[in-house]
A and B are shown apart, each in its own frame.
Chain A
């Protein structure tokens, strides 16, 4: 069955340190991978996506993500965290065997401490 896993409910990082938010997926075929961010009391905002090509994808607000086909992962990263990065982050994937419906992870709450 198709699925997306975000293994950490919450990630705590000190401001200025690098951050990683993990995402693994299980679909057949070539996936389209997405990260979205949700700030408090707001809707979701698109951050970045992987379609094809370079495995390292750069997105908004200094975020990047690395597609690893052998590990079926698409971890979100940022070299230096800001307090304003504190939010809820969602990983999502589309694939042909899911009829291209978006399959969502449950979200990871990122807390950046000053």
Chain B
């Protein structure tokens, strides 16, 4: 069983819908991340939270809105998405954010496969 759990695993939504992705980590980590994975492209870092505070926002469009209520939970709220937003969205955690612990590895969830019609 993975230490990072993502729900839902699959999501299909129209461009006018509002939905949310959820991530929960059971590892006692302090940092959580959202990544976008598209086929044959490097992973794209979207957001970083360290101790519930957002420390990175890599120029992500405002139609993606993250929320981190505590160090164990991370949400990605979605609204008015575009078809090109269809991708696998991966949540990850690490003991500390990379600025504090650059040698630390990431622990990933299994991802949420998003399809925007």
Contacts and interface: CB of A to CB of B under 8 A. Distances in A.
Interface string A47-67: 001010000000000000000
A44 B102 contact: no
Nearest to B88: A43
A49 B40 CA distance: 22
B11 interface: no
Contact of A99 (B42, B99, B108, B110): B99
A106 B90 contact: no
A101 B7 CA distance: 26
Say whether chain B's binding surface is mostly helix, strand, loop, or mixed: loop
Interface residues of A, number: 25
By size class, the interface of chain B is 20 to 34
A103 B42 CA distance: 8
A102 B106 contact: yes
B108 A106 contact: no
A18 B73 CA distance: 41
A104 B43 contact: yes
B42 A105 contact: yes
B66 interface: no
